[in-house]
């Protein structure tokens, strides 16, 4: 009997064990342990600043060496990526880009224009999420930080407008299919946002520990650039009035307050030139070195530091494999002979700003030791590139404007990339003064810039549009401005490559002044229409 | 549905207290003997049972059995044994008397267990209505099987198993009926694995390598913890009727693994099984030898295609005297492929003992395996132990069981690329490293590797200097209790724990230029901790009503929770290599990362199986599953199935016909796939360098939204219809089945491009449809059955056609990134409505023109197209690939059909078995040949593949993906042949029950027209990529000798 009781209680225990879990869990709510939900964030200034850092972080995608930068440089006469033996064909993406043979589905579109569409929009989406999430919270400096986010969002829209023309203006957070706005509408939106940010929150300057954050000067610099390009930026492509062959002047385009765009550009640039916070750097190279955060010329930059994932890797794209030991750079982007030789026109010796180009016998960029190519012969960069399809490892000169950081971490260097620096404001003001019929003022500004130490170019005798375009090339080579400039001057699609370069670019149709909307974007959002010239689905 | 959640537990609880126990009646004894009808030899391990009662016994070595406590009256006795047809016999039992019975069993064509594990229970084979393939351990593949999947490769129709590569313990891609998903993240076409009733979360147990050279190497097989010698049977559930009991996780099929249990028949046993194997690569890459390379370079220099400087890069300069000019050029002859491969040795030892009493049984086993890879620095070592015990009490009404498997796997890795880019790992350097260079050199520093800094590296130095090892400790345990509440009603609780802790340690030393380029030495330590807890409760009711009518009902609840934690620490910049990865604090820069996630699954399930007159069987299944991974309001899903079978052979009108067995089966069911990452339905904020921004040159940690979320995220659903005929002829000496199925998947889980602005360019949504249908055939025959000679043979055949029928975008999307230098942004495949997954898409290669330029098909609409040959015959003129609008479909990576052919011949003391596998009609993209046929490599002093020497392509032609590199992947492989011999040595047989010696060869013969290493290729990472071959780890050819002893 006792044995029976023992066994019966074992049985009962077993049955109980069965029943207990039946009360168990059917609760399936999710709380991510190492991620944050938006609902429990944005509650204090530290969290808000963390989200702000995330909106800024997307700026890195706009800097060298990224798709946007590549698309600007490769589609102009500043750079070319020849096929080097088995390397750099990459399914023809570089040649498609350089020779302007792209279509809405071609390789340049999928590998460059599609990320150029997505990256700024991701920044916009982060800004929209930020602005919507902070609506009902309170934290210190709220007005200033909101102005900062609006200015950043405006900059991302500015990039989209520059590349694609009219894009959907979206300020809400839901994923939805929006139609395109006109380019003029985007222009007006960016202008309105920048003015609002400048006048209601952004500080005039920042303490050194906030170097890199938006200021009133940043908003003015973008505005000055936009107004200068107003003859382009307010028109939807060649069919919409952009001239692909003649100068597109800002004169006659009315902007906020009914002001002529040239006058607006002039006053924005003047505000910066007269600002106590900016002056020309003591020397030209100071603007590009690893310590260039100290340059008083910087107005709006993409910040880099020598840390994993946070550094500038531009040197990797241009240096030869053996030039940056122990790293192995990719030996890619070269500058065209015609661009290199353009500097010769400034006299003998040519403008010292050409010294950013590497040519001839090469050295290790850190140790200065002479280096050989991979065959063991001295590495000598040639000026000319014979063929876009048959280059050797030593073919072509290289724009080495941002020297590697002596304290680099792997390929991460700490050089900041300036989207806007004071040098360009001199050029903008000179150009609009010339348009407004004041060539003397224009000449004075250009020569002031040339007089900067380490620029050392003799003063110009006279000013004209071609002189201004050339001066912009010398000052801003490799800084992501050339595409805008060539379009404004009506020389982008008609540009041809140096005759010594076999297989290079020939003249292309006018509609190439705008990039196509990538077909993949139209697939994802059928309400988008295509830019004229690029096939079906053209905007009404 | 909420009511079900509350009702089900209540019902289950209620049933416990239902029926009181019946009283015992007067009983008798049945005793007897079982023999093989052909050989008239006694048969051991035959289960003799009285159906519908718990009475059963296993025959002993002399074939005898004894059943006590049998009710008096007419009884039906059933004798079943693997490899034999079931036998029924009528017996009359008298109260207190003993009846004697002689049973003789007929060998069946297929070696199959008469009872099949079907998930939450077992069923008699005759009663099964779904599509189920079983492979018994005795019949499974022989040879060097280090993991479980290898045992069933080529054995089960419609189960396609491809090893990722030839690495020891390599991961596997298992596709059951072609898979049902497009796959997000690549792994979701995996079937569900269930070990001893506990579903396994089959994710990698070791952290991934850091991936210096492109994508990190593939994860090794997470099931490496299981020792194939411990497996008793593997059951593959293929159609929805069979898998629906596993509901949401079952749409890609279920693999049930049962491990061996203790046996008492014949007293305690002790087994030893050990083997030694030697392996070498089955094939080497066809590269230029040093002499050929030198000749080519000289030729091209003479022709002006290469600069003179190419000559001075042949060989190295060696100092021959004290003066500066005393040097001479030494040209080595290094075959880098042979230099990094080897003839490897593997040994494996299993020890097991089992025994116990009628009430308590145990089996314990130990395994030690050490497998060397066929390349330097790769290997796998496993130490594994397993214990299983069962105990029954309360007159057999309570049964308790425990299984514990614990293993330690030590992995040694070679650093190589799966998808390479500019700078490759070992295998890329094997191809390109100059054959005129030496492996080592001697100079003033002594003898050391010749490995100057640069973008190419000495592959032998890399293999030996770069350290990459991993360890996994994994414990799989479950404990179960079964209690017979009343006769026929059993309550069961099963608790399972699966815990793994995997680490990975890497060090890239200063001694290597690779280590220097990463910042003067880089060390990494990672740990991944995964744990799954599962609890199952269930009630089973079985009842036999009269002659051949049965009822079998299962209902239950299951809950499982999966947790994962990963932590990684990294140090960069070491002043010495002496610490290796063991002293990260010595590094000048240190980084750390970690992450954690968790998900839960709660389920209610029920199944009823009704049989009438042993002829008509009907099964209905319902499972109600809830997963935490899906959006609020979409977490729960209902998965029903219905199936029926009709045993025509039991019908009078077929009696006496040719069929000893004939059965029709028809089934329908719905299954799900929850193979998505947790938290994807929410917008989540993440940190990391992507969110960090340096204001004032000080990094400010930030957050960014890394997902768009999806408040409508729900299950992917697959419905499947299955029709089959099972047949047996000539007393089942010939048996087989033919199956036809149609599968439709809807609400596919896909990441698609979303309209901008969006927080991420893509979003995971339910969109699109997939349709597939297929035929499976399996046939088994006893070709010869004589005393002294038995020859069994079997064929499995499967053919499937599938296509995507609907996608979110009309243009589909590209996938299958092409690997290699100069291939950025190129894709080889496209997923498109109307085409199957794995469809190659790209330029159509027409030939090479007289200037050495590759020419491709194009249409007049695109620039650079010469259409003078007439419309539709355009040829490119630019020397580059045509515009994407001129891309065409170039075939697909799915085979037209696959065949497995297995044989077993027992001849006296010899036993010979072999397995041939064949696949016909698949296409393979030879990415290796595309990239490394470029003769321009010579301009960079790099080697290339020999076939390029004789092809007319110019030396400066870039490597362009096109139809040129799509090859037929048809093959037939002699997978394994094993010869074993029963030892009859007096020394051994005096004490041993059996002793067996065997010799086995794996991958002995491969017949294929494919030019690469092996047409069975890892499918590639990315969405639904199939059939891309890039620089894979070579597959070995293995010869094994072993000994099996049982005492």
pLDDT tens column, B326-379: 888 889 999 999 999 999 999 999 999 988 887 899 999 999 999 999 999 999
Place of tokens 């700024």: A120
Task: Note the pLDDT of residue B421.
Answer: 56
The answer to whether the CB of A507 falls within 8 A of the CB of A494 is yes
Q: Quick check: B700 and A53 CB within 8 A?
A: yes
- Predicted model pTM: 0.83
HSE-CB at B751 with a 13 A cutoff on CA atoms is 21
Distance set, CA B866 to CA A507, B71, B92, B229 (Å): 20, 92, 92, 64
Query: What's the pLDDT band for B919 if we cut at 50, 70, 90?
Result: very high
The Cα of A160 is separated from the nearest Cα of chain B by a number of Å equal to 11
A118 contacts B883? CB cut-off 8 A: no
- Residue B381 tokens read as 């070592």
Instruction: Answer yes or no: is pLDDT of B763 > 90.
Output: no
- pLDDT tens-digit series, residues B495-519: 999 999 999 999 999 999 888 888 8
The maximal CA–CA distance of chain B, rounded, in angstroms, is 111
Highest average pLDDT, of A59-63, A174-178, B1043-1047, comes from A59-63
Q: Which residue in B312, B491, B693 is closest to A375 by CB distance?
A: B312
Task: Report the pLDDT averaged over residues B405-416.
Answer: 91
Q: Say what the pLDDT of residue B295 is.
A: 94
Using the predicted structure, report yes or no on whether residue B15 has a pLDDT greater than 50. no
Omega before residue B339 within 30° of 0, cis: no
- Whether residues A212 and B757 touch (CB distance < 8 A) is answered with no
Rounded to whole angstroms, how far apart are CA atoms B170 and B218? 8
Higher pLDDT, B543 or B1036: B1036
In A, which residues are within 8 Å of B881 by CB distance? Answer: 91-92
What residues of B are in contact with residue A301 (Cβ under 8 Å)? none
What pLDDT score was predicted for residue B377? 92
Predicted pLDDT of residue B166: 82
Average pLDDT on B674-703 reads 86
From A33, A209, A390, residue closest to B698, measured CB to CB:
A209
For tokens 């779904």, name the residue: B130
pLDDT in tens, B983-1031: 876 665 556 667 888 999 989 999 999 999 999 887 666 677 888 998 8
A32, B679: Cβ pair inside 8 Å? yes
Going by pLDDT thresholds of 50, 70 and 90, the confidence category of residue B267 is confident
Residue A2 pLDDT level (bands cut at 50, 70, 90) = low
Q: Following CA atoms A421, A424, A429, A435 in sequence, which dihedral angle do they give, to the nearest 10 degrees? A: -150
A-chain residues within 8 Å CB-CB of B682?
30, 32, 37
H-helix or E-strand spanning residue B35:
strand B27-36
Taking an 8 Å cut-off on Cβ atoms, the answer to whether B692 and A57 are in contact is yes
Q: Which residue has the higher pLDDT, A479 or A524?
A: A479
ipTM of this predicted structure? 0.90
Mutate to test the interface with B, among A86, A316, A327 (most CBs of B within 10 A): A86
CB contact under 8 A, B821 and A87: yes
Q: Among A166-170, A196-200, B265-269, which is the least confidently predicted range?
A: B265-269
Going through B951-993 in order, the beta strands assigned E by DSSP cover: 966-968, 971-982
Among all chains, which residue has been given the structure tokens 């092409």? B818
Question: In the predicted model, is pLDDT for residue B424 greater than 90?
Answer: no
Residues of A in contact with B960 (CB under 8 A): 89, 91-92
Selecting from B12, B708, B940 the residue whose C-beta is nearest the C-beta of A374 gives B940
Three-state secondary structure along B355-372? EECCCEEEEEEEEEEEEE
Residue from the list A50, A308, A414 with its beta carbon closest to the beta carbon of B703: A50
Which residues of chain B make contact with A413, given a CB cutoff of 8 A?
Answer: none
| Encoded tokens for B262 | 């203790």
* B278 contacts B347 by C-beta, under 8 angstroms: no
- pLDDT level of residue B142 (50, 70, 90 thresholds): low
Read off the pLDDT band of B214 (50, 70, 90).
low
Which pLDDT value is given to residue A350?
A: 83
DSSP string spanning A155-195? HHHHHHHHHHSS-----S-S----PPPPHHHHHHHHHHHHH
Across the interface, whether the CB atoms of B686 and A525 are under 8 A apart is answered: no
Contact B703 A304 (CB under 8 A): no
Give the list of residues 6+ apart from residue B651 with CB closer than 8 angstroms, or none.
B615
Contact A209 B394 (CB under 8 A): no
Q: How far is CA B719 from CA A216, A257, B72, B92, B180, in A?
A: 61, 64, 49, 49, 10
Is the pLDDT confidence value at B24 over 50?
Answer: no
Task: Give yes or no for residue A183 having a pLDDT over 80.
Answer: yes
Predicted confidence (pLDDT) at residue B9 exceeds the cutoff of 50:
no
Cα(B367)–Cα(B346) distance, rounded to whole angstroms? 13
pLDDT at residue A260 tops 70: yes
- Whether the CB-CB separation of B97 and B75 falls below 8 Å is answered with no
Mean pLDDT calculated for residue range B530-553: 86
**Which one of B307, B628, B703 has the shortest CB-CB distance to A28?**
B628
Q: What is the mean pLDDT of residues B279-291?
A: 94
CB A33 to CB B397 under 8 A? no
Return the closest-CA partner of residue B693 out of A372, A327, A258, A148.
Answer: A148
């Amino acid at each position: 009997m006792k044995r029976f009781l023992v066994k019966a209680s074992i049985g009962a225990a077993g049955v109980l064990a069965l029943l207990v879990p039946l009360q168990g869990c059917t609760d399936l709510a999710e709380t991510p342990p190492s991620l944050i939900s938006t609902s429990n964030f944005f509650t204090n200034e530290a969290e808000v600043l963390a989200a702000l850092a995330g909106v800024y972080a997307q700026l890195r995608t706009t800097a060298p060496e990224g798709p946007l930068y590549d698309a600007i440089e490769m589609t102009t006469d500043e750079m070319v990526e020849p096929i080097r033996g088995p390397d750099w064909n990459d399914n023809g993406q570089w040649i498609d880009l350089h020779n302007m043979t792209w279509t809405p589905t071609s390789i340049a579109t999928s590998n460059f224009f599609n990320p150029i569409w997505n990256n700024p929009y991701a920044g916009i989406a982060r800004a929209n999420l930020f602005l919507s999430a902070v609506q009902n919270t309170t934290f210190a400096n709220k007005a200033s930080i909101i102005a900062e986010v609006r200015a950043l969002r405006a900059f991302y829209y500015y990039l989209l407008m520059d590349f694609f023309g009219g894009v959907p203006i979206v300020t809400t957070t839901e994923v939805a299919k929006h139609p395109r706005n006109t380019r003029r509408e985007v222009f007006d939106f960016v202008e309105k946002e920048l003015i609002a940010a400048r006048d209601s929150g952004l500080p005039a300057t920042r303490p050194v520990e906030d170097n890199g954050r938006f200021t009133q000067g940043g908003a003015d610099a973008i505005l000055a650039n936009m107004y200068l390009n107003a003859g382009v930026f307010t028109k939807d492509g060649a069919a919409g009035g952009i001239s692909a062959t003649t100068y597109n002047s800002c004169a006659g385009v009315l902007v906020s307050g009914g002001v002529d765009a040239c006058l607006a550009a002039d006053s924005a640039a003047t505000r910066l030139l007269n600002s106590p916070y900016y002056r020309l750097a003591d020397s030209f190279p100071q603007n590009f070195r690893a310590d260039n955060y100290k340059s008083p010329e910087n107005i709006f930059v993409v910040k880099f530091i020598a840390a994993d994932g946070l550094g500038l890797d531009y040197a990797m794209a241009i240096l030869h494999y053996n030039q940056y030991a122990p790293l192995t750079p990719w030996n890619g982007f070269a500058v065209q002979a015609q661009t290199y030789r353009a500097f010769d026109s400034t006299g003998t010796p040519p403008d010292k700003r050409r010294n950013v180009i590497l040519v001839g016998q090469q050295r290790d960029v850190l140790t200065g030791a002479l280096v050989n190519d991979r065959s063991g012969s001295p590495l000598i960069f040639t000026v000319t590139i014979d063929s876009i399809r048959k280059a050797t490892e030593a073919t072509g000169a290289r724009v080495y404007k941002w020297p590697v950081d002596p304290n680099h971490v792997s390929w991460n260097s700490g050089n900041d990339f300036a989207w806007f620096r004071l040098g360009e404001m001199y050029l903008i003001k000179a150009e609009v003064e010339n348009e407004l019929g004041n060539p003397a003022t224009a000449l004075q500004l250009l020569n002031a810039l040339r007089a900067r130490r380490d620029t050392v170019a003799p003063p110009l005798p006279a000013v004209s549009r071609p002189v201004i375009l050339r001066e912009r090339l010398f000052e801003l080579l490799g800084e992501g401005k050339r595409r805008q400039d060539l379009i404004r001057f009506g020389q982008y699609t008609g540009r041809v490559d140096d005759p010594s370069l076999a297989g290079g670019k020939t003249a292309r149709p006018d509609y190439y002044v705008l990039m196509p909307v990538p077909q993949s974007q139209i697939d994802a959002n059928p309400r988008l229409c295509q830019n004229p010239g690029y096939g079906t689905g053209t905007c009404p | 549905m909420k009511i079900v959640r509350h009702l089900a537990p209540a019902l289950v609880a209620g049933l416990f207290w239902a029926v009181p126990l019946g009283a015992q009646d007067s009983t008798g004894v049945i005793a007897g003997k079982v023999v093989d009808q052909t050989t008239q030899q006694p048969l051991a391990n035959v289960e003799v049972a009285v159906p519908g009662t718990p009475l059963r016994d296993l025959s002993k070595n002399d074939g005898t059995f004894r059943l006590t406590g049998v009710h008096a009256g007419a009884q039906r006795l059933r004798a079943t044994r693997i490899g034999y047809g079931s036998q029924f016999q009528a017996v009359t039992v008298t109260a207190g008397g003993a009846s004697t019975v002689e049973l003789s069993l007929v060998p069946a064509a297929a070696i199959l267990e008469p009872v099949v594990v079907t998930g939450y229970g077992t069923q008699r084979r005759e009663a099964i209505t779904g599509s189920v393939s079983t492979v018994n351990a005795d019949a499974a593949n022989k040879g060097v099987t280090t993991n479980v999947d290898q045992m069933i490769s080529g054995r089960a129709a419609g189960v396609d198993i491809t090893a990722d590569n030839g690495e020891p313990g390599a991961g596997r891609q298992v596709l059951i009926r072609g898979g049902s998903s497009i796959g997000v993240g690549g792994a979701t076409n995996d079937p569900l694995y269930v070990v001893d009733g506990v579903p396994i979360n089959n994710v990698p147990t070791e952290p991934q390598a850091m991936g210096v050279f492109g994508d990190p190497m593939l994860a090794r097989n997470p099931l490496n913890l299981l020792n194939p010698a411990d497996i008793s049977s593997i059951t593959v559930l293929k159609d929805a009727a069979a898998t629906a009991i596993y509901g949401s996780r079952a749409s890609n099929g279920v693999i049930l693994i049962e491990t061996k249990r203790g046996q008492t028949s014949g007293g305690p046993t002790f087994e030893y099984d050990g083997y030694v194997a030697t392996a070498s690569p089955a094939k080497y890459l066809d590269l230029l030898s040093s002499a050929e390379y030198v000749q080519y370079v000289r030729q091209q220099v003479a022709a002006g295609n290469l600069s003179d400087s190419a000559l001075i890069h042949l060989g190295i300069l060696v100092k021959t005297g004290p003066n500066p000019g005393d040097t001479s050029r030494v040209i080595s002859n290094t075959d880098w492929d042979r230099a990094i491969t080897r003839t490897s040795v593997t040994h494996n030892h299993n020890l097991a003992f089992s025994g116990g009493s009628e009430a308590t049984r145990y089996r314990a086993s130990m395994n030690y395996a050490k497998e060397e890879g066929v390349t330097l620095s790769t290997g796998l070592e496993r130490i594994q132990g397993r214990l299983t015990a069962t105990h029954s009490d309360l007159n057999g009404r309570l049964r308790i069981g425990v299984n514990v498997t614990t293993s330690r796997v030590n992995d040694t890795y070679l650093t190589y690329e799966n998808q390479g880019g500019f700078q490759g790992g070992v295998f890329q350097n094997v191809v390109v490293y100059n054959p005129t260079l030496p492996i080592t050199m001697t100079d003033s520093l002594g003898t050391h590797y010749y490995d100057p800094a640069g973008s190419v590296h000495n592959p032998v130095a890399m293999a030996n200097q770069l350290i990459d090892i991993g360890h996994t400790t994994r414990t799989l345990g479950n404990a179960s209790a079964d209690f017979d509440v009343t006769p026929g009603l059993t309550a069961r609780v099963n608790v399972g724990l699966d815990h793994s802790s995997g680490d990975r340690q890497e060090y890239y030393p200063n001694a290597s230029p690779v280590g220097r380029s990463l910042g003067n030495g880089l060390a990494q330590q990672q740990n991944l901790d995964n744990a799954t807890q599962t609890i199952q409760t269930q009630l089973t009711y079985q009842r036999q009503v009269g002659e051949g009518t049965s009822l079998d009902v299962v209902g239950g609840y299951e809950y499982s929770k999966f947790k994962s934690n990963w932590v990684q620490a990294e140090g960069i910049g070491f002043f010495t290599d002496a610490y290796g990865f063991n002293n990260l604090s010595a590094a000048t820069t240190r980084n750390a990362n970690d992450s954690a996630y968790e998900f839960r699954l709660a389920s209610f399930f029920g199944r009823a199986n009704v049989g009438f007159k042993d002829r008509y069987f009907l099964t209905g299944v319902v499972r109600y599953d809830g997963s935490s991974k899906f959006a609020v309001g979409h977490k729960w899903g209902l998965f029903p199935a219905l199936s029926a079978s009709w045993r025509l052979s039991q019908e009078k009108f077929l009696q006496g016909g040719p069929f000893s067995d004939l059965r029709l089966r028809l089934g329908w069911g719905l299954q799900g796939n929850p193979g998505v990452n947790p938290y994807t339905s929410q917008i989540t904020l993440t940190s990391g360098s992507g969110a960090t921004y340096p204001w004032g040159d000080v990094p400010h940690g930030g957050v960014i939204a890394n997902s768009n979320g999806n408040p409508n995220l729900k299950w992917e659903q697959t419905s499947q219809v299955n029709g089959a005929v099972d047949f047996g002829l000539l007393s089942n000496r010939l048996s087989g089945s033919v199956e036809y199925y149609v599968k439709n998947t809807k609400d596919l889980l896909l990441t698609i491009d979303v309209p901008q602005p969006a927080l991420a360019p893509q979003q995971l949504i339910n969109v699109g449809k997939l349709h597939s249908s297929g035929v499976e055939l399996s046939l088994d025959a006893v070709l010869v059955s004589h005393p002294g000679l038995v020859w069994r043979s079997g064929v499995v055949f499967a053919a499937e056609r599938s296509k995507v029928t609907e996608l979110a975008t009309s243009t589909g999307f590209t996938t299958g990134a092409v690997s290699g230098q100069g291939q950025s942004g190129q894709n080889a495949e496209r997923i498109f409505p109307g085409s199957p997954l794995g469809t190659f898409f790209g330029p159509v290669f027409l030939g090479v023109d007289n200037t050495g330029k590759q020419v491709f098909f194009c249409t007049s609409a695109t620039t650079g197209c010469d259409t003078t040959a007439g419309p539709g015959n355009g040829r490119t003129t630019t020397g580059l690939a045509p515009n994407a609008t001129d891309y065409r479909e170039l075939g697909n990576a799915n085979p037209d059909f696959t065949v497995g052919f297995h044989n077993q011949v027992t001849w006296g003391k010899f036993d010979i078995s072999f397995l041939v596998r064949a696949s016909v009609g698949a296409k393979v993209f030879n990415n290796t040949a595309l990239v490394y046929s470029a003769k321009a490599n010579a301009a960079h002093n790099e080697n290339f593949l020999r076939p390029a020497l004789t092809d007319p392509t110019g030396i400066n032609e870039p490597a362009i993906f096109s139809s040129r590199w799509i090859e037929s992947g048809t093959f037939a492989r002699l997978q394994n042949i094993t010869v074993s011999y029963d030892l009859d040595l007096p020394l051994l047989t005096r004490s041993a029950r059996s002793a067996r010696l065997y010799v086995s060869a794996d991958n002995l013969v491969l017949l294929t027209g494919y030019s690469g290493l092996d047409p069975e290729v890892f499918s590639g990472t990315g969405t639904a990529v199939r059939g891309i071959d890039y620089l894979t780890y070579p597959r070995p050819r293995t010869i094994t000798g072993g000994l099996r002893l049982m005492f």
